[in-house]
Amino acid sequence: MNKKEIRSYNYIELQEEMAAMSQKKFRAAQVYEWLHVKLADSFDEMSNLPKELRERLSTEYDIGMLTMVERQISEQDGTNKFLFGLSDGYVVESVLMRYQHGNSVCISSQVGCRMGCVFCASTIGGLTRDLSTAEMLGQVYAIQKLTGERVSNVVVMGTGEPLDNYDNFRKFIDMISDEHGLNISQRNITASTCGLIEGIRKLADEKLQITLALSLHGADQQKRESLMPVARRNELADVLAACDYYFARTGRRVTCEYSLVRGVNDTAADIAGLTALLKHRKFHLNLIPVNPIKERNFIRPSKQNARNFQNKLEKNGINVTIRREMGLDIDGACGQLRRKHIVEQ
């Protein structure tokens, strides 16, 4: 018998499940609280439920607990990187970063990735499968339980393309921000996309309050394609038009992520190109000195060169920052820890 994944049921759906089991309505509230507030990993923990109900839930449903395979803690900044095992034996990465404004967790949305970005370890080996809503929630829940600390910000920027797993990702947003669960504000949720136009426009039409982060990485179509094979699917102008639409519909400023690679996209021509693209848009440009991975030959610019790149863009009127580097001593780049685990198997 295939068990149903109970953590993927939202509050209304769980009420319907309990009603179908001839349970009183308040039982759904109790079960939901155990799953999404108390973060129970087993039905045996649900002490205010009758024994018969706990046994039936255990027979028919699976909570989908993640297993911690590995945990790395940075000696430089306290960043935690986790490798979690899924029920089918696959593994995904998640990261906890501590800031003055609260704890931020970066989660994965897929096992592997088919976007093909050449500077990213996540794409090596391609896409294995999508993560369920429960598996995305489970990463946040597991980290909060392991650390005993409240998660206040969620970044869907780990392995995978969230808009390539749209329905599960969309439900994740609703459930992580649900007042019956952890109730994390949508304004504290950021999702990164390679620029899947249909997904961006769908998100815009739903008028969510999350921050959309576009993986830009190149100031023109040709350079973007050389770094991101998925860019061949859409012209950069059309991708930016979709982001403009997102801003117009939601009022939420779009962030453009830009991995700086020495000698590849950090030239004077790139500064001019970025200025032309962003000068008249209320976007924020986030520069990310590339994290070197052994499978690629990319080199990060020096700190001074990165600052010079930033300063010149600022003089051109671009709202730009350099992302604070965290976890460099613990396989900090996206996909590195998972890749290391796969190679060692």
Q: Any idea which residues carry the catalytic annotation?
A: 93, 334
Answer yes or no: are the C-beta atoms of 218 and 265 closer than 8 Å. Answer: yes
> Measured between alpha carbons, how far is 323 from 165 in angstroms, rounded to an integer?
26
What is the rounded distance in angstroms from the CA atom of residue 220 to the CA atom of residue 270?
8
State how far the Cα of 157 lies from the Cα of 150, in Å rounded to an integer.
19
Answer yes or no: are the C-beta atoms of 81 and 92 closer than 8 Å: no
CA distance 247 to 254: 7
Instruction: Give the pair of three-digit tokens for residue 254.
Output: 């779009």
